[in-house]
Amino acid sequence: MSGELELKLRDRLAKLKRLHLPGGGMSNEVRRIEQQLEEMGNGDERDEDEIWRSVEFARHPERPYTLDYVERLIGDWIELHGDRARMDDPAIVSGLGSFADRTVAVIGHQKGRGDAVQRVKRNFGMSNPEGYRKAMRVMEIAERHGFPVITFVDTPGAYPGVAAEQHGQGGALAASQATMARLTVPTVACVIGEGGSGGAIALALANRVLMQQFAIYSVISPEGCASILWRDAGQARKAAAAFRPDAVHCLELGVIDGIIPEPKDGAHTDFDEAAKLLGKSLRSALDELKKMNGKELRRDRRARFRSYGVFAS
Amino acid sequence: MASRIDVSIEHKNSPPEPGGSKKHPNTCPKCNSHYRDDELAANLRVCAQCDYHFPVGALERIEQLLDKDSFIEEAADLRSADPLGFFDLRSYKDRIAEAELKTGLGDAMLMGQGKIEGLDFQLTVMDFSFMAGSMGSVVGEKFAQACERAIERKVPLISVNASGGARMQEGILSLMQVPKTVCAVENMRDAGIPFISVLTHPTTAGLLASFATLGDITIAEPGTLMCFTGPRVVQQTVREDLPDDFGLAESNYRFGHLDAIVQRRELKTTLAKLLRLFGHVG
Ligand SMILES: [Zn+2]
């Protein structure tokens, strides 16, 4: 790492350390960040172009989706359908399978690839409340039988439709998080594409949150932010640079625990390699959680989310 | 792609926001009756002609609901930092300073202890006029502390909500307030503390996806817009006319998402009844 880069990195960490973080749980995060940034050799300020590259890769039509990773990483896969009340939402997939020599539950947003028919069928990965209710149902199976839960987050957001609202979209997003907060099994969330706002967090209240190198995670889409702030969705690039949805920024803030490396030119260039790297990170995250019993896992998860916030001192 | 957090709350049937309308803020948007400020305050800011519920600020809400002088504010000094150095048309710091001046509040939520008919509880009240009641670090922190204090003091929590959603100027950390408050509610639930959520116009987006919908009891004032995505964005997405009562409390009640719609003049007695029924904990 060059001298100049190192200076910038030190400056950045100093800034992070100065932020008043209640709960005191963040000093580990700072150490973790230092280590990760060193490893990645990526201490440079990410400029607008680099951040926008993440946005484009995260939404790349050829990017691997949840079922692509399931196919490559999960053995004995059986998909479980339906929320047992209204319907089966194809924008979220869930099921049981084996990973690292044990049974796991896998839940993830699912986008359709290829022609318009396929993409519409999956509703572009935007779930209705029924999708989140299916997710909760499968989480409860995992809880009853002691299976770790792995989630894959990849959605522009929860679906903004009339029926979605009538059937309680907001309440379903909250209930899904509440269910995750109650689990006594290990949980790992991986943001593998777009981590869009409420629709994303509904599957991401986990013990460990990982993010692929070119994934994005944000409170609002760049276009949405731009159209509200500047009344011009065309300013999306500028908006993205302002709120920085990229993985490095999320790691700096302690919002994620680690960055999962991708093939050099993005996960879409080599599904097998991307899956291998993802599998490795998943395995070590689950290994780390083996130390904790059910009560500790639940406490760890809630304490983690309790710590977020920055205040003027 | 349409935005998920819609901070512009607007609807053909929903009451216009204060300042967003050309009408005087004391003129009823539904029937055009005009009131002196003291008249309107004396009627709990409800139109005497048509029952339209005008918006109520946090301080006035406390006056309306609580026993006189029973409110003891807590965590009053919490203020937001500016983690992103966010600048849109003005800097985030300027926007906060301006909202403080306008409302006299430190952020969009007041938190503390209070009493109704002598019954003790923990309270959070939101104020939509402070940056559209948006939830950033301070709102999230105050709510989480309110849950913790309710557990410590073994009293119920009442939260009176009004919010446009997450405060995007705080970036991803504002989104993290959503799971943070959900975890706080879960801790409260484990401790057997009753939680009453009151939705007032408007309570949308990030608030609806977090603590506002997690009450043991969830009630709303008439005409409250309570949707995850705002009508404007939904309309752009589905490109068809929305139902007349889209996202309103009345529609949510019909679809089973609310325990009751409570008129403002009955809110205090309803809350007193609930506090009596749940009793005190421990
Ligand atoms: Zn009127």
CATH number for B191: 3.90.226.10
Contact B229 A173 (CB under 8 A): no
Reference B248, options B217, B221, B213, B271; nearest CA is: B221
d(C-alpha B1, C-alpha A162), whole Å: 17
3-state SS, one letter per residue, for chain B: CCCCCCCCCCCCCCCCCCCCCCCCCCECCCCCCECCHHHHHHCCCECCCCCCECCCCHHHHHHHHCCCCCCEECCCCCCECCCCCCECCCEHHHHHHHHHHHHCCCCCEEEEEEEECCEEEEEEEECCCCHHHCECHHHHHHHHHHHHHHHHHCCCEEEEEEECCECHHHCHHHHCHHHHHHHHHHHHHHCCCCEEEEEEEEECHHHCCCHHHCCCEEEECCCCECCCCCHHHHHHHHCCCCCCCCCEHHHHHHCCCCCEECCHHHHHHHHHHHHHHHCCCC
Residues 160-219 of B with CB under 8 A from A: 166, 168, 170-180, 182-187, 204-206, 208-214
ipTM: 0.92
pLDDT value at residue A176: 98
Instruction: Inform me whether the pLDDT recorded for A17 exceeds 70.
Output: no
| Lowest-confidence pick of A112-126, A158-172, A220-234, B253-267 | A220-234
d(C-alpha B227, C-alpha B209), whole Å: 9
Reference A152, options A281, A292, A298, A62; nearest CA is: A281
pLDDT value at residue A33: 61
- Residue A223 in tokens: 């276009």
Domain limit, last residue, from B39, B54, B69: B54
**Do residues B128 and B10 share a domain?**
no
**Do residues B2 and B99 share a domain?**
no
**Do residues B33 and B90 share a domain?**
no
pLDDT value at residue A294: 98
How many folded domains does chain B comprise? 2
**Do residues B36 and B160 share a domain?**
no
Give strand pairing partners of B115. B120
Question: Which secondary structure element, helix H or strand E, spans residue A194, and what is its range?
Answer: strand A187-196
**Do residues B267 and B212 share a domain?**
yes
d(C-alpha B130, C-alpha B165), whole Å: 12
Distance A140 CA to ligand 1 centre (A): 48
**Do residues B109 and B25 share a domain?**
no
- Residue B208 in tokens: 């609806």
Instruction: Inform me whether the pLDDT recorded for A38 exceeds 70.
Output: no
Q: What is the pLDDT of residues A245-276, one digit of tens each?
A: 999 999 999 999 999 999 999 999 999 999 99
**Do residues B34 and B71 share a domain?**
no
Q: Quick one: pLDDT band at residue B22, thresholds 50, 70, 90?
A: low
Put simply, whether B138 touches A (Cβ < 8 Å) is: yes
**Do residues B116 and B31 share a domain?**
no
Strands B109-116 and A258-260: unpaired
Helix orientation angle between A294-306 and A169-182, rounded to the nearest 10 degrees: 130
Q: What is the pLDDT of residues A113-136, one digit of tens each?
A: 989 999 999 999 999 999 999 999
Instruction: Inform me whether the pLDDT recorded for A36 exceeds 90.
Output: no
Question: Three-state SS for A242?
Answer: helix
Q: What is the pLDDT of residues B35-47, one digit of tens each?
A: 999 999 999 999 9
Put simply, whether A299 touches B (Cβ < 8 Å) is: no
Put simply, whether A22 touches B (Cβ < 8 Å) is: yes
φ, ψ at A284 (rounded to 5°): -70, -30
Distance A162 CA to ligand 1 centre (A): 28
Domain limit, last residue, from B54, B76, B98: B54
What's the domain range around B33? Answer: 1-54
**Do residues B27 and B149 share a domain?**
no
- Residue A96 in tokens: 């049981």
**Do residues B166 and B254 share a domain?**
yes
Question: Three-state SS for A184?
Answer: coil
d(C-alpha B111, C-alpha B123), whole Å: 6
Nearest to B173 among A196, A242, A253 (CB): A253
**Do residues B97 and B210 share a domain?**
yes
**Do residues B49 and B184 share a domain?**
no
Domain limit, last residue, from B9, B26, B54: B54
To the nearest whole angstrom, how far is the Cα of B153 from the nearest Cα of chain A?
20
Whether the Cβ atoms of residue A94 and residue A135 lie closer than 8 Å to each other:
yes
